[in-house]
Structures are given as structure tokens and as C-alpha cells.
Amino acid sequence: SSDQLLVAGITLVGASISNNSPVDLTQVTPIARLTGDPLVIVVPKDSPIRTIADLQATIKEDVAKTIWVGGSAGGADHILAALVTQASGEDPSKINYVAYSGGGEALAAMLGGQATAGVSGYGEWQGQIESGDLRALAISYPDPIEGIEAKPLKAQGLDIELVNWRGVFAGPGVEGDDLEALKTAVDKTVKSPEWQAVLKARGWTDYYAPAEEFKTFIGSETERVRGILKSVGLAN
């Protein structure tokens, strides 16, 4: 029906591929890409790893003994861990990645010293980074972000960018006037001061793209994620 909307993002792209789902986001109607949050790579405060270069050296030394924690298998966190492993010259299919469904469990594993490194949306672990319990090595955003000390991977010599984007979609048959009305409503919303205030309050980064641009992006992002998940052995 034209009055149902879906909010989804990169993690659903990964999940539909790794689960061999018969449906994916290329089959619904993209309305707009809304937000894009940086992922952060952290280590526990007592870790001897102080930089992303140190982490790469650790991976090179023993990829299987480098324990990563993050969210669901095939999701954005897992993808980033695979990309860093690959950029360190190691086989991403040998990655030792422990997937937790909730950020809290992954955080407990990090703070308890059961992991080498962790990946999460920056906002989820911001408190522990600011208190010094976790050391942030890098963010996955292509550009520096105001208020975040950790530098992008790109600025540290790794050609990696990964944005944990989220967007809004309508059902497969929505077209014509119905589609235009939705596009106009979302376009108006993202330009409103109220939406800017929500972004600020939630610590979200504005990553708006209108429907046509978003549609092209979904296609290329689906292919990119499929390629990465193949390298980890999570896709055929």
C-alpha cells in the first residue's frame, strides 16, 4: 500500500545478501537517503595498539588471533572489519569476527578485554570513547567530522570509506502522484529546521540524497557490499 514506508540502510543490504534472501532493497521504491553515520574502530584503553597502523601490524602478525567484535554478521561493522583486514594484506575470509546482536554486548566484550578491536556506530560508543575507556583509532567516514577527534581511515592512508547510511523507501508499486507526494514531503522535511534539530540531538550526520540519486546509489552499494561479503565467504 502507498501509506507504508520502510526505513532501512546498509545493514539490511548486507543481511539480504548473506541470508540469500529472495528480496532486496533494489525491489522497493527509494524515496530518499537521509542520514549517514560514521563507524568507529576502537580498542580497549589498556591495549598496546595505539594507532590504526598498530592494528594493521597485529592483523598481519596473526589474522586469526585478531578478535573483532561488532554487530550482526554481514552488517556494516563486519564489512568494515573485513575491509581493514584486506587493506592489511590479509585474507578477509580468515577474519575472527564475533557478531553481537546488541551494541551493549559487544561493548561489554570490549571493556572486558575479550576482543582486540571493535566496530560500532560512533554514537553508540561515544560515551566510552570520551571517558577514555575505549581508544578510537579511526572513523570510516570519508571526511573529518566536527566534534570527533578520531581521523578518517582515508586521512590515515587506508583507501576505505564506509558510511552507515539510512534511507526511506516505499513499496514496489508506488508511482505517479503517490510517489511525487512522498518525495515532496520528505524533501520538505529534510530542509526543515526541525529535522536539522533532530540530526543534532541524535548525533546523526546529514547524508541526504533525493530519490533518483538514491536509486543509483542503492544499485552500486548493493554490488559493492556483495563483493565484500563474497571475500569474507558470506555470499555466493
Q: In this structure, what CATH number is given to the domain that contains residue 89?
A: 3.40.190.10
Query: Which grid cell sits at 96?
Result: 575472527
Residues 26 and 57 both lie in one domain: no
157 Rama sector, left if φ>0, alpha if ψ -120 to 50, beta otherwise: left
Question: What domain range is 108 assigned to?
Answer: 39-139+147-156
Is position 231 within any domain? Answer: no
Query: Hey, how many other C-beta atoms are within 10 angstroms of the C-beta on 88?
Result: 20
- Distance, in Å, from the CA atom of 177 to the CA atom of 135, rounded to the nearest integer, reads 50
Residues 90 and 192 both lie in one domain: no
Q: Which residues pair with 5 in a beta bridge?
A: 170
Please write the tens of the pLDDT for every residue from 15-69.
888 888 888 888 999 999 999 989 999 999 999 999 999 999 999 999 999 999 9
pTM of this structure: 0.87
Q: Is pLDDT above 80 for 103?
A: no
Residues 68 and 152 both lie in one domain: yes
